[in-house]
Chains A and B, each alone.
Chain A
Amino acid sequence: MLYSIYPVESVLEDEGEELNLIEMELERKRILLKQNGTFSFQIERIISTDPNDYMDEGLYPGLSITLM
């Protein structure tokens, strides 16, 4: 039984689409990427214990990048 501020039906709602994220190292920093095209990716998350990595403008979540 759920006790949450979100309506139970929206918590249990399944969009049916699974996010297939790719984990990789970029400039010695570990990131999670969502593939949008053959070479096009979007940064979803940074995995790091170094707070400076989160300040790196080139690694902001949501940023689109191209990898060959």
Chain B
Amino acid sequence: MTITEEKTMKSIKEMGTPQMPGSNRVNKIQVLTIVGQVEGHMVLPARNKTTKYEHIIPQLVAMEQNRQVEGVLVVLNTVGGDIEAGLAIAEMISSMSKPTLSYVLGGGHSIGVTIAVAAQYSFISKTATMTIHPIRLTGQVLGVPQTYEYLDKMQDRVIGFVTEHSRISQDRFRDLMFQTGELVRDVGTVLVGEDAKKEGLIHEVGGLSQAVSKLEEMMNHAL
């Protein structure tokens, strides 16, 4: 195995991408894969498959700085994860100067919804789902009003971001979030492919080739 191949392997293993955006020769479309749990300040037990924010954030900075990178494709198959990390990634994607496109495959649940809507344009595959549900607390919970206010504030951060970056209204998003009768023994809504588009969270239902064509079109307009 050559040194270049060795480097590619290491990059795939550690960062989930064959080509780091900071290197000298990169493709004009950079792919950012966000899978499993979005891992934030706390290292999750080894049984979880995670995407670490300390891997994603520097890549986004490098993509923004590297002139060879003309567009960013964010591929999502996540069950959610750390709110702070998810929002940080979403904020960075939404503030990029280059064309960004998110593609939800399998699932883009919970905090994954914020990352999906952060891109300038979004795709969802026909069978992919997005679960919208309230934020939960576990462990020792103090039964004081401040606990509920804090929870509400965290929820507002998510709702605010999603509604600012998509076509869904705050009221409708809250309705979906607190829906009963949809999930078994839980509150919330599961949106499958077309539903996510109808609700205004995602722009289009489609596959990889359509997503890449759309990103290329956006890149050509940006030139």
Contact = CB atoms under 8 A, between A and B. Distances in A.
Interface of A: 1-9, 11-15, 18-19, 25, 28, 30, 47-49
Interface stretch (B24-32, B60-68, B81-89, B209-217): B81-89
A32 B219 CA distance: 38
A49 B37 CA distance: 23
A4 B37 contact: yes
Nearest to B135: A3
A2 B138 CA distance: 10
A32 to B, nearest CB: 9
Contacts of A49: 8-9, 12, 18
**Main secondary structure on chain B at its contact with chain A?**
mixed
18 contacts: A1-B83, A2-B82, A3-B135, A3-B158, A4-B80, A4-B81, A5-B79, A5-B131, A6-B37, A8-B136, A11-B45, A14-B45, A15-B45, A25-B1, A47-B9, A49-B8, A49-B12, A49-B18
Contacts, number: 69
Given A4-B80, A4-B109, A14-B45, 4 more contacts: A1-B82, A13-B47, A19-B46, A47-B13
Nearest to B11: A49
B81 A2 contact: yes
B44 A5 contact: no
Contact of B9 (A11, A12, A30): A30
A12 B82 CA distance: 12
Q: Give me the 6 closest cross-chain CB pairs, A-B, nearest first.
A: A4-B80, A14-B45, A8-B138, A3-B111, A5-B109, A3-B110
B133 interface: yes
A19 B1 CA distance: 26
Nearest to A9: B138
Interface in B55-101: 79-84, 86
Contacts of A6: 37, 79-80
A7 B154 CA distance: 18
A39 B158 CA distance: 51
Nearest to B107: A5
B48 A11 contact: yes
Nearest to B84: A1
B133 A5 contact: yes
Contacts of A15: 45, 47
Given A9-B138, A30-B9, A47-B13, A4 B47 contact: no
A1 B135 contact: yes
Contacts of A2: 37, 80-83
Nearest to B190: A5
